Amino acid sequence: MKMPRTLFRGGAAEYRPGTTGRKPALHEDLFVREGRAIKKAGGALLIAKAIPGTQYNEIVEVRLSNGTVKAGQAIDISDEVTVVQVFGGVSEVDLAGTRIRCKGETLKLPVSDDLLGRVLNGMGKPIDGGPAVIPVDYLDINGEAINPASREPPAEFIETGISAIDGLNVLVRGQKLPVFSGAGLPHNRIAAQIIRQATVKGKGENFAIVFGAVGISYDDAAFFINNLRGTGALERAVAFVNTASDPAIERISTPRLALTAAEYFAWQRDMHVLVILTDMTNYCESLRELSAMREEIPSRRGYPGYMYTDLATIYERAGRIEGRKGSVTIMPILTMPDDDITHPIPDLTGYITEGQIVLSRSLERGGVYPPIDVFLSLSRMMKEGIGPGKTREDHNNVFMQLYAAYAEGAYLREISTIIGADALGDRDRLYLENADRMERLFIAQRDDEKRSVESTLDIAWELFSRLPEEDLKLISEAFIAKYLPENNRTGGDSA
């Protein structure tokens, strides 16, 4: 039943000789307490007679009488009973022989620079055939909330080389910007292109990539890892892989492990870390499953009421901290069930993240790559990341004018499907045409094409040159004089 793991082997950076990677002996046995009196088992829950001293939410070991060891978590404790949620379910648990061992630990990730170049599973165990990671520290995978007063507002422009992003929905360091996709849309290709191309102007700093695969197919995980390897980025990367065939319950810890590694690199090792998490829809499904097992009162469509807060504890780990050099930028990918942006998963995500890049099935069908729906897409951190010294002085004006003109064209396209384009006036036809040109020339590009932000803005000016100049009211007259190409200028609709 196990998936072949060979792909993940040998991809790791060289192992240093002499490292055995054994977890340093903890005085664990001193603190271990055991519970035997299991009263009830069902779904993923074990209810045992209270195990004294158990901490709320601590990670416990469940030893079945057949020798299997499973991980579990104490989710409700009282003087009378301890309720343990068993990762991987309670199959084969018998009430008489099963033991619960409590070590007083919450789930921790061993961290060190040795993580770079490695592939681990969704519980943080190496699966690339390499040795265990020699830790310099063990970090609680839940992290700690950054004090809002010590955050530095993100403001450094990351050039992705993709016009629809760099021109209209700018990504900055420390932002959390998800990709909302749909089944079969090229989100992986876009994410891979961003990983290959992303740079920060004039900076050659230390960076790292953390990849968290959450319940995706083996092939998709392989695609990412091969892509990292192909660009030589694998030695600056660490992957946490939970594939579709791995236990669903481990999907709860996978993104947290990824972010714990990211925080270590960013806050302790001064690196700029880009975290890709895919597919967070699978994460949410696991959360719903767990909640159902706990018989909690569901909120919309069966998802737990705390899903907003739960996702926030993951995504809020992005950011910058005053006085520290590193940063954590998160780009989660999720597929919208039924392409529905109002579904609780994209909806709650959009309420947490600093914008979203939304992919469109109709653009995809129209042959546009990347099929980014710029109307539904948004970057809330954009205003900090653009302008003179960052991108270009005209960026904000161009951005507003591009939207206004494209929105007008999109509206005219909609009404012309009923009344026919012939029923439109000359001016309206210019806008209709502009919407097509916008999609073909500005949004569309090759997946190996890295456009500088200047050339992205120049394409926009090229589009503007076909519109009546007096309509460019969102652009200052000075910029029009400076950037509008002379050759194609039209005289407006009186011409």
Q: Which does 482 bind (CB under 5 to 8 A by kind): ligand ADP, other proteins, none?
A: none
Q: Is 492 in the site for other proteins (CB under 8 A)?
A: yes
Q: Which residue is nearest to ligand ADP (CB)?
A: 380
Question: Which two three-digit tokens encode residue 121?
Answer: 């599973």
Per CB under 6 A, the list member of 380, 413, 429, 489 interacting with ligand ADP is 380
* φ/ψ of residue 276, rounded to 5: -110, 125
Question: Which two three-digit tokens encode residue 32?
Answer: 């271990």
DSSP H stretches of helix in 331-446: 344-352, 361-365, 382-385, 395-419, 426-437
Q: Is 153 in the site for other proteins (CB under 8 A)?
A: yes
Question: Which two three-digit tokens encode residue 396?
Answer: 């904000």
Tell me how far, at minimum, the Cβ of 35 lies from other proteins, in Å. Answer: 13
Which residues between 114 and 133 bind other proteins (CB under 8 A)? none
CA angle centred on 479, ends 478 and 484, rounded to 5°: 120
Q: Which is nearer to other proteins, 92 or 436 (CB)?
A: 436
CB neighbourhood size of 416 (10 A): 16
Q: Which is nearer to other proteins, 52 or 230 (CB)?
A: 52
Question: Which two three-digit tokens encode residue 195?
Answer: 């990983």
Per CB under 8 A, the list member of 200, 306, 455, 489 interacting with other proteins is 306
User: What burial letters (b/e) apply to 175-212, b meaning 16+ CB within 10 Å?
Assistant: bbbbbbbbeebbbbebbbbbbbbbebeeeeeebbbbbb
Per CB under 8 A, the list member of 134, 261, 293, 378 interacting with other proteins is 378
Q: Which of 138, 117, 137 is nearest to 126 (CA)?
A: 117
Is the separation of the CB atoms in 45 and 294 below 8 Å?
yes
Per CB under 8 A, the list member of 356, 434, 445, 456 interacting with other proteins is 356
DSSP at 25: P
Tell me how far, at minimum, the Cβ of 117 lies from other proteins, in Å. Answer: 28
Q: Is 226 in the site for other proteins (CB under 8 A)?
A: no
**Strands laid side by side in the 171-172 sheet:** 171-172, 157-159, 199-200
Q: Residue 401 is which amino acid?
A: Q
* φ/ψ of residue 165, rounded to 5: -90, -55
Q: Is 308 in the site for other proteins (CB under 8 A)?
A: yes
* φ/ψ of residue 110, rounded to 5: -70, 125
Q: Is 31 in the site for other proteins (CB under 8 A)?
A: no
Which residues between 147 and 176 bind ligand ADP (CB under 6 A)? none
Which residues between 350 and 379 bind ligand ADP (CB under 6 A)? 378
Q: Which is nearer to ligand ADP, 123 or 177 (CB)?
A: 177
Q: Which is nearer to ligand ADP, 180 or 264 (CB)?
A: 180
Question: Which two three-digit tokens encode residue 367?
Answer: 């042959």
Q: Is the peptide bond before 270 cis (omega within 30 degrees of 0)?
A: no
Q: Which stretch binds other proteins (CB under 8 A): 39-47, 116-124, 139-147, 187-195?
A: 139-147
Q: Which does 222 bind (CB under 5 to 8 A by kind): ligand ADP, other proteins, none?
A: none
* 100/103 Cα distance (integer angstroms): 10
Per CB under 8 A, the list member of 302, 305, 366, 485 interacting with other proteins is 305
Question: Which two three-digit tokens encode residue 48?
Answer: 């045992």
Q: 104: part of which helix (H) or strand (E)?
A: strand 99-105
Tell me how far, at minimum, the Cβ of 268 lies from other proteins, in Å. Answer: 12
Q: Which stretch binds other proteins (CB under 8 A): 204-212, 226-234, 340-348, 441-449?
A: 340-348
Which residues between 232 and 271 bind ligand ADP (CB under 6 A)? none
Tell me how far, at minimum, the Cβ of 397 lies from other proteins, in Å. Answer: 10
Tell me how far, at minimum, the Cβ of 230 lies from other proteins, in Å. Answer: 33
Q: Which does 55 bind (CB under 5 to 8 A by kind): other proteins, ligand ADP, none?
A: other proteins
Tell me how far, at minimum, the Cβ of 154 lies from other proteins, in Å. Answer: 6
Q: Is the peptide bond before 344 cis (omega within 30 degrees of 0)?
A: no
Tell me how far, at minimum, the Cβ of 367 lies from other proteins, in Å. Answer: 23
Per CB under 8 A, the list member of 297, 365, 448, 487 interacting with other proteins is 297
CA angle centred on 313, ends 308 and 319, rounded to 5°: 120
Q: Is 415 in the site for other proteins (CB under 8 A)?
A: yes
Q: Which does 188 bind (CB under 5 to 8 A by kind): other proteins, ligand ADP, none?
A: none
Per CB under 8 A, the list member of 32, 136, 423, 478 interacting with other proteins is 423
Q: Which of 27, 62, 68 is nearest to 45 (CA)?
A: 62
Q: 296: part of which helix (H) or strand (E)?
A: none
Per CB under 8 A, the list member of 62, 77, 198, 275 interacting with other proteins is 77
Q: Is 419 in the site for other proteins (CB under 8 A)?
A: yes
Q: Which does 146 bind (CB under 5 to 8 A by kind): other proteins, ligand ADP, none?
A: other proteins
Query: 277 forms bridges with which residues in the sheet?
Result: 212, 332
Q: 193: part of which helix (H) or strand (E)?
A: helix 187-197
Q: Which is nearer to ligand ADP, 239 or 378 (CB)?
A: 378
Q: Which of 409, 400, 277, 300 is nearest to 347 (CA)?
A: 300
Tell me how far, at minimum, the Cβ of 356 lies from ligand ADP, in Å. Answer: 11
Q: Which is nearer to ligand ADP, 254 or 401 (CB)?
A: 401
Residues at the site binding ligand ADP, with contacts judged by CB under 6 A: 378, 380
